[in-house]
Amino acid sequence: MTTSTYTLEAFVQEARTLVAAGTNSDATVSALADPLERIIARPDCLTDFEGVDTPSPDKGFVIHRSQELTVLAVVWPAGGSAPIHNHNGWAMEGVIAGEELNHNYARVDDGRTPWQATLEAIDPSRVRAGETTFLPDPPADIHSVEIPSGKTVAIHLYGLDLLKQWRYRFDLETGAVTPFRARIRD
Ligand SMILES: [Fe+2]
């Protein structure tokens, strides 16, 4: 039996097929877990990328973008972080090197006060190299990210065109909700 390398291109194709066939987000996320684990098991998988530009090893880049699926290479500096935000859909993280710590939140207000939200911290998730996690559909899609150790490289998947979305940032102390549009790292 011969074993062939599982390429980034093959992973994206498999992810697109699973997303297209998915009946609901729970089933889709569940089906995507194995392919994501398989691709992040290759520490050099991002070198497969053949985009128009040569990506910087210190910055993330878009691997795939469509209406139904966004796949990002995410590069965090040591000590990096992302403020509390939502995604408008499910998300998955697979860490290639380093570690991502997700602080997850539930929205507990009734949503009737414009641009205000009350959040409660729920179980955080720590994702180490070779591990994956997911964040559910709204309203359970609120989190912040902390990079507790060194530089971290990950593949993130989102079940929509993330870069097209208007989303929200949340201030835990004041309750303020602020709209924003994605940059690559998120
Ligand atoms: Fe996020």
User: pLDDT for 78-118, tens place per residue?
Assistant: 999 999 999 999 999 999 999 999 999 999 999 999 999 99
Higher pLDDT, 36 or 139: 36
Lowest mean pLDDT across 46-55, 107-116, 118-127: 46-55
Q: What is the rounded average pLDDT of the residues 137-144?
A: 94
- The pTM (predicted TM-score) of the whole model is 0.93
How far CA 20 is from CA of 6, 13, 149, in Å, comes to 20, 11, 36
Confidence of residue 178 (pLDDT cuts 50, 70, 90): very high
How far CA 5 is from CA of 10, 41, 49, 56, 145, in Å, comes to 9, 11, 14, 24, 31
Tell me how far apart the alpha carbons of residues 160 and 181 are, in angstroms, rounded to a whole number.
14
The per-residue pLDDT for 40 is: 98
Confidence of residue 51 (pLDDT cuts 50, 70, 90): confident
Distance 9 CA to ligand 1 centre (A): 23
Distance 51 CA to ligand 1 centre (A): 23
The per-residue pLDDT for 84 is: 98
Q: What is the rounded average pLDDT of the residues 13-42?
A: 96
The per-residue pLDDT for 186 is: 45
Distance 185 CA to ligand 1 centre (A): 8
Distance 45 CA to ligand 1 centre (A): 22
Question: Can you list the domains of the chain with their CATH numbers?
Answer: 8-181 (2.60.120.10)
The per-residue pLDDT for 164 is: 94
| Pure H helices in the chain | 8-21, 25-40
Distance 113 CA to ligand 1 centre (A): 24
